[in-house]
C-alpha cells in the first residue's frame, strides 16, 4: 500500500516517524509525500501541550474527511496523543481504523496486514531533511518538573544501547547527513538507567571514532542540574561536536525554580554559563524560559530579566505558562492573568532580541563554516547555518556571491558581513 505519514511535534517525534517509516517499508509498503496519492493516511501526533493536541486533532479530522470522500482506504493515529487520551479518542473518532502508542510500530504493521520484525529499522520520510538528521538517544524522562506532562505521556527514562546508536548514526551519514542533532528529553541522563555505566561523554567519544571528522554533532536539550565542567570541556574539545549548548533554564528566581521542581539555584545556573564562556568565549548559548508560572510576582519576573541581562544568551525560546492536564502545576494557586503573562512575555523577548543583536554583531568579519541548505543559482544566493544556528528554531546565514560549484549539503567557508538579531549575511570564500 501507499502510505502517507504526517509527523507533528518535536524532532524526537520525527525520529519516531522515521522508525515507523522503516517498519512500513520493510513490510513492503511505499511512503508517499502527498496524501492525495496514498491509500493509507497516518498522523504521528503530539500531545505535549494543548495547542499541539488541538493541531493533532485537526489533522486526524482532515484524514477522516478524506476517508469519507473515498480518497483513503484506511486512516491511523499513533504517538503521544494516543498515549495521553486513547480512551477518549477511540470513542470520539470511531472512523479511525487503527491506533498505536508511541514506538508500538508492530501494531501498525499488523493493522495493515503485515508481520512485524523485532529489530529496529529506521528510514526517512519524504519531508525529512537529507543533510540534517536527528539521533534520538533516549526516551522518557524522570525529572518530574511540575508543569510538564511528558513523564505521564512517555514514561520513565529508557536509553538506547550505544551500539544501536552508533549503527544508526553511521546509517544517517551514509544517507547524506552532514549534521547529526542528538536529541532526547534530557541528554545529560543518558545511560544512567543502564548497568553498562554508559554516559553522554562516552557516546560522544564513540561517535567521534565512528564518524568522519567533517560531520557536525549538535547537542540539544541539556538539563542544567547535571551539567558538569567535564561535559562542557568535552563539548568544547570535540572535533565534531559543535560549541552549541541548548540548556533550558525555564526561570531564574529561586522560589519559582523550586515550585517548578527544577532542582537548581540561580547561582548554579550562572556558574554553568560563566564556565562555558570561560572555556570558549564563542560558545553559542541557547535557553528556554517560561513566564507566568503560578505564584510569579513582579519581583520574580524582575529576577528573571536580570539573569537574562547578565548572562547574554545567544538565543532564547520563551512561552507563557499553560496549566497542562494531569500536572502538579495545574492545581497550583496564584494564577497569573493572561494579560500579565503576555505583557511579561513581550518584555522578555524584547530584551532578548537586543541581546541577540549584540551577540550577532560580534561575529561580523569572522570566517565560519556554514552548512548549505538551499541554493538559488540564478540569484547567486544560498542559505545555510553555522554552528550558532540549530535547525528550525534559530536563524539562518544568507550567503551572497556564491560560486557555481556550491550545492546543498556542502559545508563552505563564509565571511560574515552583516548581522541582524537572528540572521547573518556573508560571502563565500572562494577556494
Cell of 71: 480518497
How far from chain centre, in Å, is Cα 382?
Answer: 24
Q: Are residues 99 and 190 in the same domain?
A: no
The CATH number assigned to the domain holding 393 equals 2.40.50.140
Are 267 and 295 in the same domain?
A: yes
Residue 36 in grid coordinates? 492525495
0.85 exceeded by the pTM?
yes
pLDDT for position 342: 97
Instruction: Name 307's Cβ contacts closer than 8 Å, sequence gap at least 6.
Output: 249, 252, 266, 269, 270
> All 3 cell numbers of residue 136?
534520538
Residue 306 shares a structural domain with residue 163:
yes
1, 81, 348, 360 from 66: Cα distances, Å:
16, 21, 43, 47
Mean pLDDT, consecutive 10-residue stretches, the chain (431 aa), reads 92 92 93 94 88 90 94 94 87 91 90 85 88 95 92 91 95 96 95 85 94 95 94 90 96 98 96 96 96 98 98 96 93 97 98 97 97 92 96 94 88 96 92 65
Locus of grid cell 549575511:
425
Domain co-membership, 46 together with 142: no
**String of DSSP letters for 113-167:** T----SS------TTS-SSEEEEE-EE------TT--HHHHH-S-EEPPHHHHHH
Please, which residues bridge with residue 376 across strands?
A: 381
Overall number of domains in the chain: 3
Three-class SS of residue 61?
A: helix
Domain with 238, as residue range(s), is 132-361
Task: Indicate whether 162 and 76 sit together in one domain.
Answer: no
Residues 165 and 276 in one domain: yes
The answer as to whether 50 is a domain residue is yes
Model pLDDT, residue 431: 65
Cβ distance 53 to 68 under 8 Å? no
User: Is residue 271 assigned to a domain?
Assistant: yes
**Does 382 share its domain with 343?**
no
- Is the CB of residue 52 less than 8 Å from the CB of residue 16? no
127 assigned to some structural domain: no
**What is the spatial distance between Cα 309 and Cα 389, in angstroms, rounded to a whole number?**
21
Amino acid at each position: 500500500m501507499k502510505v502517507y505519514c504526517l509527523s507533528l511535534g518535536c524532532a524526537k517525534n520525527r525520529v519516531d516517524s522515521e522508525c515507523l517509516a522503516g517498519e512500513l517499508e520493510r513490510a513492503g509498503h511505499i511512503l508517499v509525500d502527498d496524501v492525495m496519492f496514498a491509500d493509507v493516511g497516518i498522523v504521528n501526533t503530539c500531545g505535549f501541550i494543548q495547542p499541539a493536541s488541538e493541531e493533532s486533532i485537526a489533522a486526524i479530522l482532515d484524514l477522516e474527511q478524506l476517508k469519507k470522500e473515498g480518497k483513503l482506504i484506511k486512516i491511523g493515529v499513533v504517538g503521544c496523543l494516543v498515549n495521553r487520551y486513547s480512551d477518549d479518542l477511540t470513542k470520539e473518532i470511531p472512523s479511525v481504523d487503527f491506533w498505536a502508542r508511541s514506538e508500538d510500530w508492530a501494531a501498525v504493521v499488523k493493522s495493515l496486514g503485515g508481520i512485524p520484525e523485532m529489530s529496529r529499522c529506521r528510514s526517512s520520510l519524504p519531508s525529512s531533511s537529507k543533510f540534517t538528521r536527528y539521533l534520538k538517544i533516549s526516551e522518557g524522562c524522570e525529572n518530574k518538573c511540575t508543569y510538564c506532562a511528558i513523564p505521564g505521556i512517555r514514561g520513565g527514562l529508557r536509553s538506547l544501547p550505544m551500539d544501536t546508536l552508533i549503527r544508526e548514526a553511521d546509517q544517517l551519514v551514509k544517507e547524506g547527513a552532514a549534521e547529526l542533532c542528538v536529541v532526547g528529553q534530557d541528554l545529560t541522563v543518558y545511560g544512567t538507567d543502564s548497568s553498562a555505566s554508559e554516559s553522554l561523554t562516552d557516546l560522544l567519544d564513540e561517535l567521534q571514532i565512528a564518524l568522519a571528522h567533517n560531520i557536525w554533532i549538535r547537542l540539544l536539550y541539556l538539563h542544567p542540574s547535571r551539567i558538569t565542567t567535564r561535559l562542557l570541556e568535552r563539548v568544547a574539545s570535540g572535533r565534531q561536536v559543535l560549541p552549541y549548548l541548548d540548556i533550558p533554564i525555564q526561570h531564574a528566581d529561586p522560589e519559582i525554580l523550586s515550585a517548578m521542581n527544577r532542582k537548581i539555584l540561580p547561582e548554579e545556573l550562572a556558574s554553568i554559563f560563566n564556565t562555558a564562556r570561560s572555556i570558549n568565549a564563542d560558545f553559542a548559548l541557547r535557553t528556554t524560559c517560561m513566564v507566568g508560572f503560578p505564584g510569579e510576582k513582579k519581583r520574580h519576573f524582575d529576577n528573571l530579566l536580570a539573569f537574562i541581562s547578565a548572562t547574554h544568551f545567544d538565543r532564547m525560546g520563551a512561552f507563557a505558562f499553560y496549566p497542562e492536564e494531569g500536572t502538579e502545576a495545574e492545581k497550583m494557586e496564584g494564577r497569573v492573568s493572561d494579560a500579565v503573562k503576555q505583557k511579561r512575555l513581550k518584555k522578555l523577548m524584547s530584551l532578548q532580541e537586543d541581546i541577540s543583536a549584540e551577540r550577532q554583531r560580534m561575529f561580523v568579519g569572522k570566517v565560519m563554516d556554514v552548512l548549505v541548505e538551499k541554493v538559488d543559482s540564478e540569484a547567486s544566493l544560498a542559505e545555510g547555518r553555522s554552528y550558532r544556528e540549530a535547525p528550525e528554531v534559530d536563524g539562518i546565514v544568507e550567503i551572497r556571491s556564491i560560486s557555481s560549484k556550491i550545492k546543498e549539503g556542502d559545508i563552505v567557508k563564509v565571511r560574515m558581513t552583516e548581522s541582524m538579531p537572528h540572521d547573518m549575511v556573508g560571502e563565500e570564500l572562494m577556494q
